[in-house]
């Protein structure tokens, strides 16, 4: 068989010379002969790396990026792009979130012409889900147009986030809300928002602290007071949601215990008070009103005589459900009602203060004449004669309640005794209407029983006038007066005059 000319001495020499020439060419060109295309000439004003402004400036020095038998390509990339290397090692910034970060060429290709931008082309390869912010709600803007990366990020490899951009963008949708929200929680949006959005659809009612009543009317920061300071002090290092969860939910954390019932009631305020309003409180499941349920108003008892607040314990020293009347006496002896007055007052009315006093106070400035004027004989009798058992409320005021109606005029004059009788004495009465002259024939008419011996509805003239039944009947029959009409003397003698027979 004939050998190939390649293995002949001449062919071998020719091949060696050819390879040597090719190697010399590659060495002198830096490998440029095998380049797949022009390198990018895209540059940023004032920025140099490794002494070069763009890849195109070392296009003939392939070894700056390609040393396959000596080192990996990413090491050569990071030799110039040292700021990227810092992100990789610190796991921060844009490149700190990329999973296969050392495969630089997978995202940043080149050899595609002077106008090709290796950074811009990498945008399409970046997996934003590897960051702490999802783009699920940021595909388009409020104008329904697709959002570009630079709409949220400043240009550059660090891809810094412009939080002012967040605020200005969202303010176009609801300026008042963003203004209020920023004032409450600051401008570091990413501390609470992750783009999903983790706060979307948040319902406080589903938490361990439902919001209702007056709580629903206050700003979030009124309860979550530590959130703003945590944002300002800790920055990105704070778990803002955890800060929200750590907000106290006990009433006492926001509401100072009133001095009025300090150390009297337990700390679980909700057992008596509701979020609708502090007052009225509920005691044993019922709305509590000290006046309605105890019969004593606290309106005139906000402070003691020294100006200090009167607490529940001041009147209920041992048990909130028990009341010691001695506390009233001890307290009022220190004020205008001095010990002497209090001793005399108790001697006259007893120590059951609440029988007369209700805290408003219903006896303050009391004038008996406004209710029942005490004149004449009424002014001379002791209080207990009318107020038996110290009963002052609904004390009867009608005469008949104390004075029994005399049988002599029962059912005739009615019970308006004051029309005829005065408080000075029962008798004489004031007779305002009497058709028959009571002073005729020399009588003074002061004794009603002279004529009205049994009842005022009947009378007789025979007590004073001689009575001879047969002659009187005979004489009256002659004038047409029957025996049945004979007792009604006043019908014929209305003035008390006496007519003689002719």
Q: Which of 190, 220, 249 is the last residue before a domain boundary?
A: 249
**pLDDT of 26 above 60:** no
Residue 216: inside a domain, yes or no?
yes
Provide, rounded to the nearest whole percent, the portion of the chain with pLDDT above 70: 87
What pLDDT sits at residue 1?
A: 44
Give the largest CA-CA distance in the chain: 207
Write down which residue in 198, 216, 249 finishes a domain.
249
Do 475 and 389 belong together in one domain? no
Rounded to the nearest 10 degrees, the angle between the axes of helix 163-171 and helix 175-185 is 140
Query: Quick one: CA dihedral 135, 139, 143, 149, positive or negative?
Result: positive
Whether residues 341 and 269 fall in one domain: yes
**Quick one: tokens of 214?**
């007056």
Q: Name residue, tokens 């002061």.
A: 446
Tally of domains in the chain: 5
Ramachandran area for residue 247 (φ above 0: left; ψ -120 to 50: alpha; else beta): beta
476 occurs within a structural domain: yes
- Report which of 429, 438, 412, 428 is spatially closest to residue 490, judged by C-alpha positions: 438
pLDDT at 501: 46
Residue ranges making up the domain that contains 331: 261-355
Let me know whether 86 and 121 are in one domain.
yes
Q: Would you list the DSSP string of 235-294?
A: GGGS-HHHHHHTS--SHHHHSPPPGGGTTTS-S-GGGT-BTTBSSSEEETTEEE-IIIII
- Claim to verify: residue 116 and residue 155 sit in the same structural domain: no
Kindly give, in sequence order, each residue whose CB lies less than 8 Å from that of residue 421, ignoring residues fewer than 6 positions away.
399, 427, 429, 430
204: nearest Cα among 212, 213, 193: 212
Same domain, 399 and 462: no
State pTM to two decimals.
Answer: 0.41
Residue-wise pLDDT tens digits, 355-409: 778 888 777 777 888 888 888 889 888 887 888 777 777 788 888 888 888 877 7
pLDDT for 175 equals: 92
The answer as to whether 24 is a domain residue is: no
273 vs 19, residue with greater confidence? 273
Percent of the chain clearing pLDDT 90 (strictly above): 2
The per-residue pLDDT of the chain, averaged, comes to 79
Residue 336 resides in a domain: yes
State yes or no: pLDDT of 344 exceeds 50: yes
- Strands (E) located in 219-270: none
Place of tokens 């008949």: 400
Summarised one tens digit per residue, pLDDT across range 387-399 is: 877 777 778 888 8
For the residues 414-424, what does the mean pLDDT come to?
83
In a domain, 316, yes or no: yes
| Size of the chain in residues | 502
Q: Tell the residue number behind the tokens 């530590």, with chain if given.
A: 226
**Cα–Cα distance measured from residue 399 to residue 409, given in angstroms and rounded to the nearest whole number:** 15
Instruction: Indicate whether 137 belongs to any domain.
Output: no
For 229, list phi and psi in degrees, rounded to 5. -65, -35
Mean pLDDT of the 474-488 span:
87
Question: 3-state class of 80 per DSSP?
Answer: helix
Specify whether the CB–CB gap between 491 and 480 falls below 8 A.
Answer: no
**What is the band of 21 on the pLDDT scale with cuts at 50, 70, 90?**
low
User: Looking at the domain assignment, is residue 209 inside a domain?
Assistant: yes
Final residue of a domain: which of 70, 98, 130?
A: 130
- pLDDT digits over 141-191, tens only? 888 888 877 788 765 555 667 777 888 889 998 999 898 888 877 777 877
pLDDT greater than 60 at residue 39: yes
- Residue 46 resides in a domain: yes
Is the same domain home to 380 and 472? no
- The pLDDT value recorded for residue 289 is 79
Same domain, 98 and 156: no
**CA gap 160, 440 in Å, rounded:** 126
Which two three-digit tokens encode residue 124? 């399409």
70-83 residue pLDDT tens = 888 889 998 888 88
Residues 408 and 453 in one domain: no
The region of weakest confidence among 77-91, 117-131, 147-161, 291-305 is: 147-161
Mean pLDDT of 273-282: 79
What integer is the mean pLDDT of 322-329? Answer: 85
């Amino acid at each position: 068989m004939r050998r190939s000319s390649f293995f002949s001495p001449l062919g071998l020499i020719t091949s060696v010379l050819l390879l040597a020439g090719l190697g010399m060419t590659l060495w002198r060109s830096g490998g440029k002969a095998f380049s797949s295309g022009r390198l990018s000439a895209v540059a940023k004003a004032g920025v140099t790396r490794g002494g070069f402004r763009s890849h195109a400036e070392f296009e003939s020095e392939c070894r700056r990026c390609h040393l396959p038998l000596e080192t990996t390509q990413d090491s050569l990339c990071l030799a110039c792009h040292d700021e990227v290397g810092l992100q990789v090692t610190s796991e921060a910034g844009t490149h700190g979130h990329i999973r296969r970060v050392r495969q630089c060429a997978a995202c940043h290709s080149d050899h595609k012409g002077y106008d090709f931008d290796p950074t811009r082309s990498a945008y399409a390869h970046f997996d934003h889900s590897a960051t702490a912010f999802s783009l699920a709600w940021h595909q388009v803007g409020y104008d329904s147009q697709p959002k570009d990366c630079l709409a949220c990020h400043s240009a550059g490899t660090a891809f810094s986030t412009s939080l002012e951009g967040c605020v200005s963008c969202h303010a176009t949708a609801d300026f008042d809300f963003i203004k209020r929200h920023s004032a409450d929680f600051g401008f570091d949006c990413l501390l609470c928002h992750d783009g999903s959005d983790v706060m979307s659809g948040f319902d406080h009612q589903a938490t361990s602290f439902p919001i209702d009543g007056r709580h629903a009317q206050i700003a979030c920061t009124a309860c979550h007071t530590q959130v703003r300071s945590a944002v300002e002090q800790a920055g990105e290092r704070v778990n803002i949601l955890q800060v929200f969860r750590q907000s106290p939910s006990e009433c006492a954390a926001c509401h100072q215990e009133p001095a009025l019932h300090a150390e009297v009631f337990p700390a679980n305020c909700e057992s008596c008070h509701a979020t609708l309003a502090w007052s009225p409180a509920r005691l044993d499941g019922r709305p509590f009103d000290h006046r309605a349920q105890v019969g004593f108003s606290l309106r005139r008892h906000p402070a003691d005589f020294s100006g200090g607040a009167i607490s529940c314990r001041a009147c209920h020293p041992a048990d909130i459900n028990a009341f010691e009347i001695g506390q009233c006496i001890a307290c009022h002896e220190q004020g205008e009602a001095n010990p002497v007055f209090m001793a005399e007052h108790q001697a006259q009315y007893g120590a059951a203060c609440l029988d007369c006093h209700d805290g408003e106070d219903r006896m303050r400035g009391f004038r008996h004449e406004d209710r029942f004027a005490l004149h004449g004989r009424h002014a001379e009798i002791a209080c207990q004669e009318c107020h038996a058992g110290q009963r002052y409320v609904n004390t009867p005021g009608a005469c008949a309640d104390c004075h029994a109606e005399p049988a002599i005029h029962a059912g005739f004059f009615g019970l308006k005794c004051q029309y005829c009788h005065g408080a000075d004495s029962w008798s004489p009465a004031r007779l305002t209407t009497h058709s028959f002259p009571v002073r005729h024939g020399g009588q003074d008419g002061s004794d009603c029983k002279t004529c009205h011996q049994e009842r005022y509805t009947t009378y007789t003239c025979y007590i004073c006038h001689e009575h001879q039944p047969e002659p009187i009947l005979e004489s009256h029959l002659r004038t047409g007066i029957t025996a049945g009409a004979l007792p009604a003397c006043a019908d014929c003698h209305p003035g008390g005059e006496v007519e003689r027979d002719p």
